[in-house]
Structure 1
Amino acid sequence: MKQFLFLIGGLAAGFTAQAQTDTVRASTLPPAQLAEKYYNSGVAKFNNKSYQAALQDFDKALSVKKDFTPAYYNRAATRYELKQYAPAVQDYNEAIRLDPNSFTAWYGRAQAEQAQGQAAEAEKDYGKVTELKPDYAVAWYDRGALRFEKGDYQAALGDFTQAIKVDSKYAYAWHDRASTQRQLGNMAAAINDYTEALRHNPDLHVALLNRAAAKRRNKDLQGALADYNDYLRRRSDDPVGYLGRGTARYEAKDYKGAIEDLSHALKLKPDYALALNNRAAAYLKQENYKAAADDASAALKINPQYAEAYLNRGHAREMLRDAGGACQDWRRAAELGLESGTSYAAASGCE
């Protein structure tokens, strides 16, 4: 969470001058200054990540001064760190009631609502932040992320675009706008945005991986392979990278290379159903039907609803002269939504 903590100035000089000992008894202070004392102590403890102790100080500050807006805000921030999201929202409510124009309180409440799974409420509050402070890029970005998650890609695209207008170096906004463009089928625009994300943050490795996927979908297999190679030089422990490069090699008809990459992915993640299914497809191209059937079966043990694995196992079983098994697999693929399962079953004379 992006925290905003406010420190109130020290005690008035007159009271400091009266104190000749090392400490001042809190009970001798006027209420306003006593509240400030507890408040500043809470801020210091928050900054040291002593959240329970900070919470106690903010409680004391508010017990003395009921309308202490910053104390409500910072107690809410502390409760957020302690994962006390519902009480945090209540404190943000008070902070907003006392100061409706505090964009930080609206933003904090949105974060706490989002943490509780209240996406609609969080989206509304992020919108309020953009009204109060249009140049606050992170609010545009966070609302865009919520809209992306619910599949409202056009609205998400607008929010990410606005975040970039506010902060042209916002690498994550460039990245997520690129991913939104991919969802909308705009591959060239997605590739450009991933490139911008990497220009502003060369260490944003996920942008390289996703740009490779966008290039592959845009039929630029050589460009995709170059990006996958670069990504795997940086992240040699990521099975997703090997899956992606293996799929690109498959599409480039390099079946041997595809099997090598998919096998590496499976070494890193043995229960990777997608890699098993894709390797089964590569084995089919090499006419290694037994290995293809075994991989498809292994994928189905992990995911019994995997339609493509049924389809591939059907092809392997057909070539292994198991006509009944092939028909059964193609029918199951059709039941799971693959129309080609029906076509293969019909063409092979399955009853």
Structure 2
Amino acid sequence: MKHLFMSLLLCFSMQAIAQETLTEEEIRYRDSIININESSLATAVSQKNYNEGIAAFNAKNYPLAISKYKAAIEADQNFIAAYFNLALAENEAEKPKDAIQTLSVLLKIDPTYTKAYFQRAIANQKNNNFAAAENDYELALKAEPNNPNVYYNYGTLMFLQKNYDAAIVKFSKTIQLEPKNAFAYNDRGSCKRMKGDYSAAVSDYEMAAKMNENLAFVLNNIGSTKTKMKDYEAALKAFNRAISIDNTFYLSYNNRGVCLMEMGKTVEAIKDFDKCVRTNPSYAPGYSNRAGAQFKMKEYSKALADANLAIQLDKEFADAYVNRGMAKEMLRNMNGACEDWHKATELGSILGKHYQSTNCSN
């Protein structure tokens, strides 16, 4: 055994000497083989994580997708698709700052990967970087001038900035490129509604409903606009259709309640406000509207309780302060009423200012 051990040592020693005496060309060849093997291993690891990231993304497990895409990038710093998909996952996970950074790195590596501009525009929009988002949408359109998705999202950016005319232009271009886009019709209708052009708004909403008859929010928009037009019967029909499509759609219950209030059907309105807040207990306007209805029924304590709930949910909700002030006035708490109307005035309520100036000393 001893001799065998020594022989092995001799073999290893000879092998070491042989390696040390390789020519430069042989060393280069040896190193290239090592690099190829290491590169192949890194590529396999990167691709495995990338594929797992896709699976996680499709399952809407965005945190896992993010971690997998990051692992893919760690193994391959130039894996462009992994950067792009990472940004998609970050956007879906509501991490727009991370998405912006990821896409900026991607574009630095490959400036020709122009579809990254669209995703970065979305991330900037989510992060309220409106100027940067607008610039990225322009770059996206320069690369893809006939992409309806870019125009549509660009339109939503203009809407958020209350530039309704510009938004209408973008949504109209979306419709030109994609004539059956119900969302573009709906959102263009909302622009027109904000401009006070109710008839034109309803026309667009009805086109959206024609394109997709199962969109409850479109029917809700028809109902809300018809209410503004004082066409209450048509409004009720639209709200009823919306609720038949989605009986958990709390906005339609709330808005139908408002319509019923306008029609003088306060008891029925309260029932709708009840359904609204049961469906979404965190919806402050539902409580505030119910407070107004309870006030009309002379249920002042109930009105006060509902207004309190609305304010607990949203401390900047001017209408709730108006309603609470009205309830406090009837409950003989004039100081409290004036405090609430003063707060409503600070929040921009014209009605709060009226009650304050009429009933309260400065």
Q: TM-score, normalised by structure 2?
A: 0.72
Q: Quickly say closer, same or farther: Cα 1:340–1:194, change in 2 above 3 A.
A: closer
For the 8 Å contact 1:239–1:265, the answer to whether it is kept is: yes
Alignment match, 1:165: 176
Query: Does structure 2 retain, via aligned residues, the 8 Å contact 1:88–1:112?
Result: no
Letter paired with 1:269: N
Instruction: Note closer, same or farther for the CA distance 1:248–1:120 as it changes in structure 2 (3 Å cut).
Output: same
Question: How far off is 1:269 after superposition?
Answer: 3.2
Match of 2:165 among 154, 171, 190: 154
Match of 2:105 among 86, 90, 93: 90
Tell me the equivalent position of 1:120. Answer: 131
How much does 1:40 deviate? 8.4
Q: What is the aligned partner in structure 2 of residue 76 from structure 1?
A: 83
Is the counterpart of residue 266 in structure 1 residue 277 in structure 2? yes
Corresponding position: 1:243 with 2:254: yes
Rounded Cα–Cα distance in structure 1 between residues aligned with 2:120 and 2:359: 60
Alignment counterpart, residue 310 of structure 1, candidates 310, 313, 321: 321
Question: For residues 114 and 95 of structure 1, do their structure 2 counterparts lie closer, same or farther at Cα, with a shift above 3 Å needed?
Answer: farther
More helix by share: 2
Aligned-partner Cα distance in 2 for 1:28–1:336: 67
Q: How far apart are residue 325 of structure 1 and its match?
A: 4.6
Change (3 A) 1:37 1:181: same
Distance in structure 2 (CA, Å) of the matches to 1:48 and 1:303: 39
What CA distance in whole angstroms lies between the structure 2 residues aligned with 1:332 and 1:42? 55
Asked which structure has the greater CA Rg, the reply is 2
Partners of 2:246 and 2:193 lie apart in 1 by: 23
**1:148 corresponds to which letter in structure 2?**
F
Cα distance in 2 for partners of 1:58, 1:43 equals 9
1:211-226 matched pairs, under 5 angstroms: 211-226=222-237
Question: What's the CA shift for 1:215?
Answer: 1.5
Q: Which runs of 5+ in 1 are unaligned?
A: 1-24, 64-70
User: Are residues 231 and 128 of structure 1, via their aligned partners in 2, closer, same or farther at CA, if it must alter by over 3 Å?
Assistant: same
What runs of 5+ residues in structure 2 fail to find an aligned partner? 1-32, 57-64, 91-97
Partners of 1:95 and 1:105 within 8 A in 2:
no
- Contact in 1 for aligned 2:205/2:219 (Cα 8 Å): yes
Distance 1:164 1:308, change over 3 A: same
**8 Å CA contact 1:89, 1:112 repeated in 2:** no
TM-fit CA distance, 1:264: 1.8
Q: Deviations over 1:61-98 (max 9, x none)?
A: 776xxxxxxx53x23313214525213321123322xx
Residue from 242, 266, 291 that aligns with 1:280: 291
Q: For 1:26 and 1:147, locate their aligned partners in 2 and report how far apart those are by CA, in whole Å.
A: 55
Distance in 2, Cα, partners of 1:325 & 1:191: 42
CA distance in 2, matches of 1:123, 1:233: 39
User: Contact (CA 8 Å) 2:216, 2:241: kept in 1 or not?
Assistant: no
SS of residue matched to 2:146: coil
Residue 156 of structure 1 deviates from its aligned partner by 1.3
Aligned length: 313
Out of 171, 174, 191, the residue aligned to residue 180 of structure 1 is 191
Residue equivalent to 1:22: none
Given that residues 219 and 238 in structure 2 are in contact (C-alpha distance below 8 angstroms), is that contact kept between their aligned partners in structure 1?
Answer: yes
Correspondences of 1:1-351 after superposition (within 5 Å): 48=55, 72=80, 74-83=81-90, 84-85=98-99, 86-96=101-111, 99=112, 103-114=114-125, 117-344=128-355, 347=358
